[in-house]
Every structure is written in C-alpha cells, then in structure tokens.
Amino acid sequence: MKTTIAKAEQIERKWYIVDAKDKVLGRMCTTIADKLRGKDKPIFSPHMDCGDFVIVINADKIKLTGKKMQDKKYSRHSGYPGGYREQSAEDLLLKKPTKVFELAVKGMLPKNKLRDKFMSKLKLYAGEEHPHEAQNPEPLNT
C-alpha cells in the first residue's frame, strides 16, 4: 500500500460558519484550528495547506470558564524600555472582540511559515453580519 501525498489541485476548500454566542473559547478554537489546518481530511499533509475557510460570527459574545475573564492576561512589548503592556481578557473583549479569538487560534497552529496562510482563512466578525453569503457556508458543530 502506498502513501499518497496531497497535490494542490486535489484540495477542495469548503466554507464553514460558527456562531460563537455563549460557547467556550478554548473548546471552540481547537475545532476551528483543526478545520483551518485540514487535519480532519483523509488527504492531510503536514507540509501543505489542506484546510478550509472558517467564518466566526458573534465573537464578542463568547464565554471563558472560571475566573479567566478577570485573571487571564494578554501581554505585549513595544521594544522600548518601559514598553511592556498587559491587558485582561475582559478589557480586550471590550476594545477588540476578535483579537481574543485570533490569539487563541494562532496559538493552536504550528509555528512555521504556514501559520499566516491558515490565519488568512479565518474570518472573524463581532456581530451577526458577514460578507461571505455568496460562498454558502455550512454550519460547523463545535
């Protein structure tokens, strides 16, 4: 039996839509990361982009379990002395609701050159509206 390697012309890309309203962030992001990468397909190859497109709506209405809303901190550094900044998940959800999703999914993807390709297939929206109706997205069970 031979091992087959996926070719770029063999890959069929589908569009999925996820409603994030009242769902747990981490559990949903693991499913989304697998879809973006294509790990659920029989032609999966770790060195290729085999994944599908994922649309997330209502990103501002997610849940975090426990006291993570107050205790979870997102940090960044500008590169200058004294440029360290820290923000709680609650503050980040108020200012940039899609950034929490972006950081969660990005951390679950491989740290290589493919990560930017995977992230470009993730479409995040804070409200109900999205401009991807023409792609006929299928609902994704998370």
In a domain, 103, yes or no: yes
Share of the chain above pLDDT 90, in %: 89
Share of the chain above pLDDT 70, in %: 100
In a domain, 128, yes or no: yes
Q: Are 100 and 79 in contact (CB under 8 A)?
A: no
Q: Which domain holds residue 117?
A: 8-66+97-137
In a domain, 80, yes or no: no
Please compute, for residue 23, the number of CA atoms within 13 A of its CA located in the half-sphere on the CB side. Answer: 20
What pLDDT is stored for residue 5 in this prediction?
A: 82
Confidence class for position 63, pLDDT limits 50, 70, 90: very high
In a domain, 49, yes or no: yes
In a domain, 87, yes or no: no
In a domain, 75, yes or no: no
What pLDDT is stored for residue 4 in this prediction?
A: 78
What pLDDT is stored for residue 104 in this prediction?
A: 97
pLDDT tens per residue, range 33-60: 999 999 999 889 999 999 999 999 999 9
In a domain, 59, yes or no: yes
What pLDDT is stored for residue 92 in this prediction?
A: 96
In a domain, 34, yes or no: yes
Confidence class for position 3, pLDDT limits 50, 70, 90: confident
What is the CATH number for 40? 3.90.1180.10
pLDDT above 90 (res 90): yes
Total domain count, the chain:
1
